């Protein structure tokens, strides 16, 4: 596994923010030093080949080309920018799910109100998996893996409906295989790709890109194609770091993480104080726990951190499907079986 700095906690929170490698950290630092010594725009021009290689590596993960990538400030910014530019007239029908990330759902509601779109609920099962795609949709958008539940959507089945799909891969790219064939993708650097914070991305299939409306800018953009969606004022070191993280990523890493997660779910299934939401064999590395005795996940998360375990407390506002706050554990390849046993013992006492 790629070398990383020592960690002073048992890191079980890659779904919030992964750990960059020392190589990525060194590359970012070197670029920042070059900005300081030679000027920011000079450093960016010198890094163009590396930036282009990073775009190609990222796009190849979803079957596209580097020219189909636009870097943004975050996954949320990418979602808002891409959906705002999508060519949909008044009366358009957009499919959405109850597991949509709360901030993205708010963007959809705002755009629908401004533009006369109709948001259509896509039917899901008890765990939030899409079971059918309604007829007559102009677009469907949803998270491949939601933030608040460790399930994976069957995107290939949804693509067979022939409705254009904008897929949120913030929680899936780097964790599970992402299928090619979507009209657009949005995501972030800092989670399963283990890139730096402050960088997101959007990708559009070349068949759809020409129809997208360019976002408003304070000055004319120097870019064409999908890169017209990029800000020219950018965290270039972060973009370089994302590209490097993607290039050092290996498909073996999520396989290890998912195996560890099955171990964890088996260990936690017997707890009397928490309910494991996902089936043991669900092929993701996210486990969510619903409190059985009325525990406060925020307080438990704080107590776990004090004992050396980094996890997440997901608020009820994260998605419409949530009925209460949950504790989320996300397992990376760097987590060991001993780490999981120690966590299970600690949780048993909460």
Residue at a domain's end among 248, 277, 297: 248
Measured CA to CA, the distance from residue 27 to residue 30 in angstroms comes to: 5
Cα-flanking dihedrals φ and ψ of residue 56, to 5°? Answer: -60, -45
Whether residue 90 is found in the same domain as residue 194? yes
Residue 104 included in any domain: yes
End-to-end CA distance of the chain: 33
Whether residue 166 is found in the same domain as residue 273? no
Whether residue 32 is found in the same domain as residue 76? yes
User: What average pLDDT does the segment 214-236 reach?
Assistant: 81
Whether residue 65 is found in the same domain as residue 154? yes
* Residue percentage of the chain with pLDDT more than 70: 98
Q: Is the pLDDT of residue 231 over 90?
A: no
Q: Counting beta carbons within 10 angstroms of the beta carbon of residue 275, is it exposed (0 to 12), middle (13 to 18) or buried (19 or more)?
A: middle
Q: Is the pLDDT of residue 1 over 70?
A: no
CA 67 to chain CA mean position, Å: 21
- The CATH number linked to 342 is 3.90.1150.10
- The CATH number linked to 64 is 3.40.640.10
Q: What local confidence, expressed as pLDDT, does residue 220 receive?
A: 57
Q: What local confidence, expressed as pLDDT, does residue 223 receive?
A: 79
The model's pLDDT over 74-121, given as tens digits with 9 standing for 90+, comes to 999 999 999 999 999 999 999 999 999 999 999 999 999 999 999 999
Residue 278 included in any domain: yes
Number of domain units in the chain: 2
Residue 5 included in any domain: no
Residue at a domain's end among 248, 280, 308: 248
* CA angle 104–244–151, rounded 5-degree value: 40
Torsion angle of C-alpha atoms 306, 317, 112, 75, degrees rounded to 10: 10
Whether residue 81 is found in the same domain as residue 217? yes
Q: What local confidence, expressed as pLDDT, does residue 349 receive?
A: 84
Residue 291 included in any domain: yes
Q: Of 349 and 5, which is predicted with more confidence?
A: 5
Whether residue 117 is found in the same domain as residue 239? yes
The model's pLDDT over 192-219, given as tens digits with 9 standing for 90+, comes to 999 999 999 999 999 999 999 988 765 5
Whether residue 301 is found in the same domain as residue 219? no
User: What average pLDDT does the segment 5-23 reach?
Assistant: 96
Whether residue 276 is found in the same domain as residue 161? no
Measured CA to CA, the distance from residue 245 to residue 2 in angstroms comes to: 10
Whether residue 146 is found in the same domain as residue 50? yes
Q: Are strands 69-72 and 200-204 parallel, antiparallel or unpaired?
A: antiparallel
Whether residue 27 is found in the same domain as residue 155? yes
Residue at a domain's end among 214, 229, 248: 248
Nearest to 175 by CA among 99, 238, 255, 242: 255
The model's pLDDT over 243-301, given as tens digits with 9 standing for 90+, comes to 999 999 999 999 999 999 999 999 999 888 899 999 999 999 999 999 998 999 999 99
**191: domain range?**
22-248
User: What average pLDDT does the segment 28-42 reach?
Assistant: 97
User: What average pLDDT does the segment 149-162 reach?
Assistant: 97
Q: Are strands 69-72 and 309-310 parallel, antiparallel or unpaired?
A: unpaired
Measured in residues, the chain has a length of 350
Whether residue 27 is found in the same domain as residue 142? yes
């Amino acid at each position: 596994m790629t070398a990383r700095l020592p960690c002073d906690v048992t890191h079980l929170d890659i779904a919030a923010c992964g750990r960059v490698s020392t190589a990525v950290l060194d590359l970012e630092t070197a670029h920042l030093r070059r900005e300081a010594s030679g000027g920011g725009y000079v450093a960016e021009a010198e890094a163009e080949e590396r930036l282009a290689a990073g775009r190609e590596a990222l796009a190849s993960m979803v079957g596209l080309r580097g020219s189909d990538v636009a870097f943004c400030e975050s996954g949320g910014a990418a979602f808002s920018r891409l959906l705002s530019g999508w060519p949909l007239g008044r009366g358009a029908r957009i499919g959405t799910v109850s597991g949509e990330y709360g901030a993205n759902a708010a963007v959809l509601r705002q755009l629908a109100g401004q533009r006369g779109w109709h948001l259509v609920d896509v039917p899901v099962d008890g765990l939030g998996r899409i079971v059918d795609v309604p007829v007559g949709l102009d677009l469907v958008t949803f998270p491949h893996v939601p933030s608040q539940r460790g399930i994976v959507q069957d995107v290939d089945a949804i693509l067979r409906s022939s409705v254009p799909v904008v897929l949120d891969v913030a929680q899936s790219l780097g964790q599970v295989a992402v299928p090619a064939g979507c009209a657009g993708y949005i995501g972030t650097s800092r989670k399963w790709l283990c890139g730096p914070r402050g960088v997101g991305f959007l990708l559009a299939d070349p068949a759809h890109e020409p129809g997208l409306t360019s976002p408003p800018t304070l000055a004319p953009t120097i870019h064409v194609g999908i890169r017209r969606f990029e800000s020219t004022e950018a965290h270039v070191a972060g973009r370089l770091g994302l590209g490097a993280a993607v290039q050092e990523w290996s498909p073996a890493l999520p396989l290890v993480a998912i195996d560890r997660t099955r171990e964890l779910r088996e260990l936690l299934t017997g707890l009397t104080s928490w309910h494991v939401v996902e089936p043991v064999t669900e092929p993701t590395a996210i486990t969510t726990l619903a409190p059985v005795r009325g525990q406060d996940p925020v307080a438990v998360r704080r107590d776990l951190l004090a004992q050396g375990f980094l996890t997440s407390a997901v608020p009820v506002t994260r998605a419409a499907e949530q009925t209460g706050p949950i504790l989320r554990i996300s397992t990376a390849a760097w987590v060991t079986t001993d780490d999981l046993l120690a966590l299970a013992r600690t949780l048993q006492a909460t």
